[in-house]
Amino acid sequence: MSTLNILFAGFGGQGILFSGKFMAYEGLLADKHVSWLPSYGPEMRGGTANCSVIISDEEVGSPIVDKPDVLVVMNLPSLDKYEDAVVPGGKIFVDCSLIERKVERTDVSVYYVPATGLASEKKIPTLANMIITGKMLKELGFSLDSVDAVLGKIVSTRHQDLLSVNKDAIRAGYEL
Amino acid sequence: MGEKVLMKGNEAIAEAAIRAGCRHYFGYPITPQTEVAAYMSKRMPKIGGTFLQAESEIAAINMVIGVAATGKRVMTSSSSPGISLKQEGISYLAGCDLPALVVNVERGGPGLGGIQPSQSDYWQATKAGGHGDYHNIVLAPASVQEMAALTIKGFELADKYSMVTMILADGTMGQMMEPVEIDDIEIKTVEKPWALTGTGMARSHNIVNSLYLKPDLLEQKNFERYEKYAQIEKSEVMYEEYMMDDADICLVAFGITARVAKNAIAEARAKGIKVGLLRPITLWPFPSQALAARASQCKAFISVEMNMGQMIDDVKLAISCSRPVYLCNRVGGMIPSPEEVLDKIISVSGGAD
């Protein structure tokens, strides 16, 4: 891996930015160059939200991911908008609890993850983002070794009780 | 070495300002710079500092004038429409020769415009946005690390020359997170014998003032200020050159567009086009001599900007129009893609080799 361009997209409130932050810290703790760029403004409060994450062996140029190697989508408008942008040979992770249609591209690897359904089943309805992130970690060849360290960085000190459920969600996705 | 942490550009500015000894922040929220104020509101009360959300941007900049006169490090931040409101106060800071840090995390304009990133306040920042003959030192960070480092440098330059330093960033720089390391940046301070600190009945009064009704005296003040500016132009220019050694074409870009330009350069070089980048870090003073030195080597210059073509004027002046200077731009909150910059490079080079 020289450079990994990841685009997370979904509705505001689904934890799109948090998942992005998780991956950025995964990269940072692996001594890579990283950048994290969110959509901002009213989008964060209910519209479509997206987040560009770049993990690279080299200095990051533009922080905007417009040709993702990896696309994670958690709503239909995001799949419609970004499906064609993924590079040939790239990977698309689809929350198939929320998106009924299939990916039309045939030159990419597609992973259908019932993240939102599984999150409700497990009584962690707000953590579908971390389930799909767990699946992505596995398919990208990341280990779970650094999960504790990364979550320790991004879960705020007043919410340390959420550490273990986040970890459970990631593991659930990883084991799919 | 301290630990690298991920921070938003806006947060890095706020944390760096606190490390630099700034204990007084006055502002008013506006997207996309609100995280600066939010960070200050959390930290300042805990370290004995002042965070004050003023009733308006105009009030905030006038509070800055008050603290600056006492010699304490002070700052305000806003985004484009709010910076327009602050221009009167910035002119008064210039007229009083007071140091302060002003941060502009630009968004698209004119008017209320939009909230997406822009570089359309270049002229306002570098050509003096308020009335009268004056300059601000203008620093253009292109990474979150530079957001921190140039904030600290900005306070240092403001104090050294007793004038306003402006950080000219944009929405992407403010909102993006990157690893940042602040502990290792050295903090320099200077004595301010002119400051209004109370005489203690031990010295005569200091006076901070911008009103000079006698024209010969006001003229003299302006001459003196421009001697200071000449010194700054001589000794404080900062820029980065990237792949310029063998370049036939020189891109000129600052902030976010410089990063897009680097992607485009990699793609152009893969096609055999010799192109490099000169990235101004100080927008005023502008790296004119560095550009002029490249005019004999490069057959053309391309100014990559997120405005309708503002810095391009300074590029043309720097090289005395001795080479063609082309514009590659997007506006209104749009960011040029590496492909758009590459297309411009290809068309200027007359096609790939």
How sure is the predictor about B183, in pLDDT bands with cuts at 50, 70 and 90? confident
Put simply, the answer to whether A62 touches B115 (Cβ < 8 Å) is no
Which positions 51-80 of A are in contact with B (Cβ < 8 Å)? 60-64, 66
Counting residues of chain B whose pLDDT is more than 70, the rounded percentage is: 99
Of B175, B260, B263, the CB nearest to A38: B175
B332 in contact with chain A, both atoms CB, cutoff 8 A: no
Q: Which residue of B has its CA nearest to A153?
A: B5
How many CB pairs lie under 8 A apart between chains A and B? 61
Beta strands B50-53; B100-106: pairing state: unpaired
All structural domains of chain B:
5-235 (3.40.50.970), 240-349 (3.40.50.920)
Q: In this predicted structure, what is the pLDDT of residue A40?
A: 78
pLDDT for B352 beyond 60: no
Tokens representing B91?
């002119």
Query: Which residues of chain B lie closer than 8 angstroms to A35, CB-CB?
Result: 176-178
The CATH fold of domain A3-174: Pyruvate-ferredoxin Oxidoreductase; domain 3 (3.40.920)
Q: Do A62 and B260 touch (CB under 8 A)?
A: yes
ipTM (interface pTM): 0.93
CB contact under 8 A, A62 and B175: no
- pTM of this prediction? 0.96
Annotated domain spans of chain A: 3-174
Asked if the C-beta of B61 comes within 8 angstroms of chain A's C-beta atoms, the answer is no
Mean pLDDT of B296-303: 97
Predicted pLDDT at B103: 98
Chain A residue numbers with beta carbons less than 8 Å from the beta carbon of B5 are 153
B260 touches chain A (CB under 8 A): yes
Confidence of residue A42 (pLDDT cuts 50, 70, 90): low
Span B224-230, average pLDDT: 98
